[in-house]
């Protein structure tokens, strides 16, 4: 994707104003500008292109609710006439980063399979540090979207492996993978069980980067490249967008990119259990009792609750290194969408102070997240008569919580954050087209940068 945000200080003037300041700004404008805005019935909010006497663009006007909203300028790269634009008023670095990010991500197009008209309007930014920060965020978000938007025909476990391997090469990190039956030999039985029915071999992807002397941060991403539901087959409507069930993996790959690109002083480990939940004669079944890497046995109540199965092996491995913080992302439950809707990701954590700090970080970078409780009373719902626990609960109530409690059993006392995300825009907003979306990633990165870089 060609960048729509460039280094520079020359271009068509762009008046970017908050709504409350519009009338004051208007009073200072020449008569021709006032007449034009009046004649075009400009209501003091949105975008207007102001012409010169020769019919060329003299200036552009954009009135927004808040300059700190990271998507306030999400439509400008696509709606303004072709050319380069420069802000007429100086902004603080935080607001300028928000403006640059919104402009740049508004130019995003998923055009792997069909041509789409590119965004033609460029924003010139003179502050090199702001440009670098915004460019990283645009790139990280675009990578997440691209991975989720890619159909399963081109995004199976081996394709995810190629992506993580390329990321490792980009930042001089170490990469290895455990593939197919080797998962059993190296004691990742759940990842193998979920993926064994597919012709695409399941695998655990493992990337490490950074100085071993730095605090350990471990990312774990659910990489179910397509989820049919297994033998508990999903209905067609529910299966339609299941290419996005590796959205958790996409988020952790994007977050790993941001961490390494910003050179945060951490020792990073990325673990992606990747599999296809398919149907064949070798598929795992409801009622099966399966072992885990931790040694706990799990009775399968429903094969469509497979994400927590691949995650539990990877989380136990991640926790074994006693990291300073472990973070997982997963498109885990519809119950979280029922509780919070599709645009607000929920998260669970065993760190109370972190919960508040993370929600504040999300508000600051227009990436809101909401803390849900690890409510202990619901843990008894995971009881099994024949195994240590079940993988899912038949009751429709509290499903996001019981899923998180299942995962917590494999985390121990490791400081941990679990994101349950939709990873998909069901409707379009400025800068956010229908399709794959990064949700909670920028909030988590902002938290990590504040924590480890200060």
Q: Are residues 205 and 114 in the same domain?
A: no
Kindly state the tokens that stand for 275. Answer: 């599999």
The CA distance from 97 to 63, in Å, is 17
CATH number for the domain spanning 59: value is 3.40.220.10
Q: Are residues 334 and 435 in the same domain?
A: yes
Q: Are residues 12 and 97 in the same domain?
A: yes
Answer yes or no: is 381 within a domain: yes
Residue with tokens 């197919």: 180
Q: Are residues 102 and 230 in the same domain?
A: no
pLDDT reported for residue 55:
81
Answer yes or no: is 132 within a domain: no
The CA distance from 331 to 25, in Å, is 45
The CA distance from 175 to 166, in Å, is 9
In our burial notation (b when 16+ CB lie closer than 10 A, e otherwise), range 428-448 reads eebbbbebbbbbbbbbbbbbb
Interstrand relation of 203-209 and 83-87 (parallel, antiparallel or unpaired)? unpaired
pLDDT reported for residue 364:
97
Answer yes or no: is 205 within a domain: yes
Q: Are residues 385 and 431 in the same domain?
A: yes
280: burial class by Cβ within 10 Å (0-12, 13-18, 19+)? exposed
Answer yes or no: is 160 within a domain: yes
What residues are labeled active site? Answer: 234, 308
Q: What is the pTM of this model?
A: 0.97
CATH number for the domain spanning 289: value is 3.40.630.10
Q: By the 8 A CB rule, do 412 and 222 touch?
A: no
Answer yes or no: is 131 within a domain: no
Q: Are residues 182 and 86 in the same domain?
A: no
Answer yes or no: is 75 within a domain: yes
Q: Are residues 88 and 182 in the same domain?
A: no
Domain encompassing residue 34? 5-126
pLDDT reported for residue 1:
57
Alpha carbon 244 to chain centroid, angstroms: 11
**Number of domains into which the chain is organized:** 2
Q: Are residues 73 and 149 in the same domain?
A: no
pLDDT reported for residue 87:
97
Q: Are residues 284 and 406 in the same domain?
A: yes
Nearest to 248 by CA among 433, 450, 424, 429: 424
In our burial notation (b when 16+ CB lie closer than 10 A, e otherwise), range 237-274 reads eeeebbbbbbbbbbbbbbbbbbbbbbebebbbbbbbbb
Residue-wise pLDDT tens for the chain (454 aa)?
A: 568 999 999 999 999 999 999 999 999 999 999 999 999 999 999 999 999 888 889 999 999 999 999 999 999 999 999 999 999 999 999 999 999 999 999 999 999 999 999 999 999 999 999 999 999 999 999 999 999 999 999 999 999 999 999 999 999 999 999 999 999 999 999 999 999 999 999 999 999 999 999 999 999 999 999 999 999 999 999 999 999 999 999 999 999 999 999 999 999 999 999 999 999 999 999 999 999 999 999 999 999 999 999 999 999 999 999 999 999 999 999 999 999 999 999 999 999 999 999 999 999 999 999 999 999 999 999 999 999 999 999 888 999 999 999 999 999 999 999 999 999 999 999 999 999 999 999 999 999 999 999 7
Answer yes or no: is 173 within a domain: yes
Kindly state the tokens that stand for 77. Answer: 């790269």
Answer yes or no: is 35 within a domain: yes
Q: Are residues 95 and 152 in the same domain?
A: no
The CA distance from 157 to 84, in Å, is 41
Q: Are residues 59 and 160 in the same domain?
A: no
């Amino acid at each position: 994707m060609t960048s729509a945000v460039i280094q520079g200080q020359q271009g068509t003037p762009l008046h970017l104003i908050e709504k409350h300041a519009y009338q004051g700004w208007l009073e200072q404008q020449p008569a021709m500008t006032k007449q034009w805005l009046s004649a075009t019935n400009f209501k003091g909010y949105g975008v207007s292109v102001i012409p010169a006497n020769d019919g060329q663009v003299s200036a552009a006007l954009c009135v927004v609710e808040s300059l700190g909203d990271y998507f306030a300028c999400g439509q400008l790269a696509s709606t303004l006439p072709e050319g380069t634009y420069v802000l007429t008023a100086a902004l603080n670095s935080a607001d300028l980063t928000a403006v640059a990010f919104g402009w740049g991500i508004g130019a995003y197009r998923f055009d792997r399979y069909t041509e789409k008209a590119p965004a033609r309007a460029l924003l010139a930014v003179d502050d090199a540090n702001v440009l670098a920060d915004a460019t990283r965020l645009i790139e990280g978000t675009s990578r997440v979207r691209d991975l989720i938007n890619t159909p399963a025909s081109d995004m199976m476990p081996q394709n995810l492996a190629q992506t993580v391997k390329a990321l490792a090469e980009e930042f001089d990190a170490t990469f290895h993978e455990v593939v197919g039956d080797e998962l059993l030999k190296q004691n990742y039985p759940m990842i193998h069980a979920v993926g064994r029915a597919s012709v695409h071999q399941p695998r655990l992807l493992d990337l490490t980067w950074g100085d071993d002397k730095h605090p350990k941060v471990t990312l774990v991403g659910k990489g179910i490249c397509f989820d049919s539901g297994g033998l508990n087959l999903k209905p067609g409507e529910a299966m339609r967008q299941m290419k996005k069930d590796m959205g958790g993996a996409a988020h952790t790959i994007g977050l790993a990119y941001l961490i390494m690109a910003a050179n945060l002083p951490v020792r990073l480990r990325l673990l992606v259990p990747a599999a296809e939940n398919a149907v064949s004669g070798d598929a795992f079944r409801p009622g099966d009792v399966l072992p885990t890497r931790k040694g706990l046995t799990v009775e399968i109540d429903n094969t469509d609750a497979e994400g927590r199965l691949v995650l539990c092996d990877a989380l136990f491995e991640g926790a074994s290194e006693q990291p300073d913080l472990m973070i997982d992302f997963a498109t885990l439950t519809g119950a979280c969408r029922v509780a919070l809707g599709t645009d607000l990701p929920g998260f669970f954590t065993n760190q109370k102070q972190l919960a508040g700090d993370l929600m504040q970080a999300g508000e600051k970078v227009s990436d809101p997240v909401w803390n849900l409780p690890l409510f202990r009373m619901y843990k008894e719902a995971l009881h099994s008569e024949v195994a240590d626990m079940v993988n899912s609960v038949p009751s429709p109530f509290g499903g996001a919580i019981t899923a998180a409690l299942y995962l917590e059993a494999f985390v121990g006392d490791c400081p941990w954050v679990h994101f349950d995300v939709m990873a998909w825009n069901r409707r379009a907003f400025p800068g956010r087209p229908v399709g794959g979306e990064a949700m909670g990633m920028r909030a988590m990165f902002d938290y990590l940068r504040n924590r480890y870089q200060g």
